[in-house]
Structure 1
Amino acid sequence: MRIMTWHGGDKFTLDQVPDPVARPGRVVVKVDTIGVCGTDVHITQGLFPSTPPKVLGHEGSGVIVEVGEGVDKSRIGERVVMNTTSHCGVCSACTTWSESRCENADLTSGMFAEYATAPSQSAVKIPDTLDLEQAALTEPASCCFSGAEMVRIDDNGIGVVIGGGIMGLFTLAFLKRQGVERMIMSEPVAARREMATQFGADLLHDPAESDLTEFVKDHNGGYGANIAAEVVGQPKLVAKCVEVVRPRGEVLMIGVNPEGAPLPVDMYDLHYREITLKGAFGRGDVFARTPAEIDTLNLDGVISGRYELQDVPQAIVDSGEGKGVKFVIKPNG
């Protein structure tokens, strides 16, 4: 089969390797679609730790074509989305933190490839009504779903999301489902900003036209937001979220900030206004529930471009430049 191997920086090679074989407890999946993640972009830019050479890609869907010993053969032909790790359910991480941090996790192989192998548990069957291409959005959606469930929503209030990429759209949708009455999307790119309406945005903010803090107050009786989520991965925007929330407001960090980045806020202000700052990284315990959740959303137009396997480097560049909402790879045509 063909795989796309990352060698550090922006260097990739398209390689031919033997087809995978299903080991005990695992399945082989013919990959249909892999999403290009912001983490893939950050890895190539040196902003997220990863060691080459390796096959990137962790947002994949496909069809099970082979099963290993101990896996029910009836799974062959199932349409699935692949979680990147399994979970044991009994370790300290699983029982006190999150399944996605399992101390005994088995890994799914890199998905920028024609085939991937995964623990059977990690190949999650998708609803019949969800197509495989849209199912590849499960992994980013699960990160947002998990983050939204971490937030305390004790009144209807008003929420803000900064960043209208796919993660921002899902975060907005899930916060609204959690009970936030009105949601604001702040995003400089008009097409992304307007797409937020189909995910439940009530108000759209263009940062080139007005200050977000004043915009929130203008639409909330002079008060700040109850909740603000940063979904870009820029420290200055985390600081902006702290600024726009009201006293005892909550700030949710969904975007992945560069390793080693300091928190650029006035710690006195954070303390004085009793602001809660929450980091939300990864799939939590919600991955298996997510396909059914996204199946109820309007995903029309979310996928902005489709690339062949050999075009992974260009897709990563285009994603990093924000040329669309979501780009995907189609390794098998």
Structure 2
Amino acid sequence: MKALVYQDYRKVELLEMEEPTIGSPTGVKVKIFGSGICGTDLNIVKGKIPANSGTIIGHEGVGTVVEVGPKVRSVKVGDRVLIDPTQSCGICSYCREGLHCYCENFEDHQVGMTIHGTFAEYYAGEERYVFKIPDTMSWEAAMMVEPLGCVLNSFLKARVKPSDSVLVLGSGAIGSLCQLVGKRLGRLTVGTEVDEYRKSFAANIADYVFHPQELTLEKVLEINNGHKFDIIIDAVGNQLHVALELIGKGGRIIPMGYDDSYEVSFKPTDFINNGVNVIGDVAVHQMISTALKFAQSLPELENMVTSTKKLQDYEGAFNETIGYDMSTGAPRAMTSVKTALIS
């Protein structure tokens, strides 16, 4: 089968790989329809996050069941399914407390990084990580369920109220998804974005979208009844300094973007005096089932996939979302918020 394989630092290739096989009585084999390109995949391509050499990347996969083990009960051949990539050993102390995303052996279970992922024609894994897709749900919406789970988990941890104002810093795939959920759960949703294409896309979701330099404190007070924001999400990974300036008393800051080179300093007394919380546990905590149900009330979800490319056109797919040309390194305008690779 064809699969997109991590080779070395900033190098991925489309290779011919052996089809996976079911490895247990509760195993499930899926013919992959497609898989969304996540920020993690982009960071692997950029060289910011390592993957094991020879590993098939990708983790937001959906497809059709083609084989099941004799003990599988929840899905059958022919079912449309999505794959939960948050997998774990199941037996360490964290797993036994239900904190699977903090698994002590997590490095051995990272789909698309240390074990084969979904940028391929087939995927095989355990039944407990395979979820049936409702018949009324499109493939595109189904590909957004896993990132929706991450966003929904963050909003629930932040205890968002219908009266809350939400600022989302960055309007990429996760940022736009945060804005979509913010519109559903909060009172006011505001986004920022430097890229004109993504800024225009986000303008159809959020109440307001600004270039970061336009969102001054004066503008915030003008659009938010004289107050700072109740919830601020950094969907870029290097904007917490902005969040610290614009968060109101009793507010919650959620860092969601990933940039391990970024650092910010703060005064602990500001957090104490103003009752501000920073919420770091944004990883998915068994949210796929909940996100699947929530997704059925979000008809806009499928529109989040703004481009689809065939697996063999992976360079073009990455180029339109990564901000530069993979081959030359030359900067280029973004032309997609969320691109899916179709097998």
Q: What is the TM-score when the length of structure 1 is the normalising length?
A: 0.87
**CA-to-partner distance for each residue in 1:166-221, whole Å, 9 max, x for gaps?**
2112222333444x21111222334433444554x22332335x234332111223
Contact map agreement 1:41 1:317 (CA 8 A) in 2: no
Taking a change above 3 Å as real, the CA distance of residues 9 and 317 of structure 1, as seen in their structure-2 partners, is farther
Deviating 4+ runs (over 6 angstroms)? none
Q: Deviation at 1:85? A: 3.7
C-alpha distance in structure 1 between counterparts of 2:141 and 2:164, whole Å = 31
The aligned residue for residue 229 of structure 1 is 233
Q: For the aligned residues, what is the CA RMSD?
A: 2.6
Is 1:152 equivalent to 2:159 in the alignment?
A: yes
The aligned residue for residue 303 of structure 1 is 305
C-alpha distance in structure 2 between counterparts of 1:152 and 1:74, whole Å = 34
Q: Deviation at 1:68? A: 2.1
**CA-to-partner distance for each residue in 1:40-60, whole Å, 9 max, x for gaps?**
111222222433232110010
Q: Secondary structure at the match of 1:299?
A: helix
Q: Secondary structure at the match of 1:63?
A: strand
The aligned residue for residue 202 of structure 1 is 207
Is 1:323 equivalent to 2:335 in the alignment?
A: yes
Q: Secondary structure at the match of 2:8?
A: coil
C-alpha distance in structure 1 between counterparts of 2:141 and 2:162, whole Å = 33
What is the one-letter code of the residue matched to 2:236? V
Contact map agreement 2:32 2:120 (CA 8 A) in 1: yes
Q: Secondary structure at the match of 1:279?
A: coil
C-alpha distance in structure 2 between counterparts of 1:65 and 1:73, whole Å = 14
C-alpha distance in structure 2 between counterparts of 1:123 and 1:149, whole Å = 23
The aligned residue for residue 182 of structure 1 is 188
1:167 maps to which of 155, 167, 174: 174
Taking a change above 3 Å as real, the CA distance of residues 107 and 239 of structure 1, as seen in their structure-2 partners, is closer
1:218 maps to which of 222, 232, 236: 222
Taking a change above 3 Å as real, the CA distance of residues 212 and 55 of structure 1, as seen in their structure-2 partners, is farther
What is the one-letter code of the residue matched to 1:291? L
The farther-off stretch of 83-92 and 321-330 is 83-92
C-alpha distance in structure 2 between counterparts of 1:193 and 1:122, whole Å = 35
Taking a change above 3 Å as real, the CA distance of residues 223 and 104 of structure 1, as seen in their structure-2 partners, is same
Q: Deviation at 1:101? A: 3.4
**CA-to-partner distance for each residue in 1:140-175, whole Å, 9 max, x for gaps?**
111111111110336713111111122112222333
What is the one-letter code of the residue matched to 1:184? V
The aligned residue for residue 6 of structure 2 is 6
Q: How many residues are treated as equivalent by the alignment?
A: 325
Q: Secondary structure at the match of 1:290?
A: helix
C-alpha distance in structure 2 between counterparts of 1:120 and 1:26, whole Å = 6
What is the one-letter code of the residue matched to 2:226? G
Percent of pairs with identical residues: 26
Counting only pairs closer than 5 Å after superposition, residues 228-307 of structure 1 correspond to structure 2 as: 228-234=232-238, 237-258=239-260, 261-265=262-266, 267=268, 269-297=270-298, 298-299=300-301, 301-307=303-309
What is the one-letter code of the residue matched to 1:279? G
The aligned residue for residue 329 of structure 2 is none
Q: Secondary structure at the match of 2:306?
A: strand
Q: Secondary structure at the match of 1:48?
A: coil
- Unmatched 5+ stretches in structure 1: none
Counting only pairs closer than 5 Å after superposition, residues 106-145 of structure 1 correspond to structure 2 as: 109-145=116-152
Q: Deviation at 1:97? A: 5.9
What is the one-letter code of the residue matched to 2:288? F
The farther-off stretch of 216-225 and 105-114 is 105-114
Q: Deviation at 1:81? A: 0.6
Contact map agreement 1:307 1:328 (CA 8 A) in 2: yes
Q: Deviation at 1:95? A: 5.3
Contact map agreement 2:153 2:287 (CA 8 A) in 1: yes
Taking a change above 3 Å as real, the CA distance of residues 7 and 280 of structure 1, as seen in their structure-2 partners, is same
Taking a change above 3 Å as real, the CA distance of residues 128 and 73 of structure 1, as seen in their structure-2 partners, is closer
What is the one-letter code of the residue matched to 2:135? D
C-alpha distance in structure 1 between counterparts of 2:263 and 2:98, whole Å = 24
Taking a change above 3 Å as real, the CA distance of residues 8 and 89 of structure 1, as seen in their structure-2 partners, is closer
Taking a change above 3 Å as real, the CA distance of residues 264 and 327 of structure 1, as seen in their structure-2 partners, is farther
C-alpha distance in structure 2 between counterparts of 1:74 and 1:225, whole Å = 44
C-alpha distance in structure 1 between counterparts of 2:293 and 2:204, whole Å = 18
C-alpha distance in structure 1 between counterparts of 2:182 and 2:64, whole Å = 31
Counting only pairs closer than 5 Å after superposition, residues 18-29 of structure 1 correspond to structure 2 as: 18-24=18-24, 25-29=26-30
Taking a change above 3 Å as real, the CA distance of residues 198 and 77 of structure 1, as seen in their structure-2 partners, is farther
Q: Deviation at 1:252? A: 0.7
The farther-off stretch of 74-83 and 102-111 is 102-111
The aligned residue for residue 80 of structure 1 is 81
C-alpha distance in structure 1 between counterparts of 2:162 and 2:30, whole Å = 44
Q: Secondary structure at the match of 1:7?
A: strand
The farther-off stretch of 278-287 and 119-128 is 278-287
What is the one-letter code of the residue matched to 1:204? V
- Unmatched 5+ stretches in structure 2: 324-333
Is 1:314 equivalent to 2:290 in the alignment?
A: no
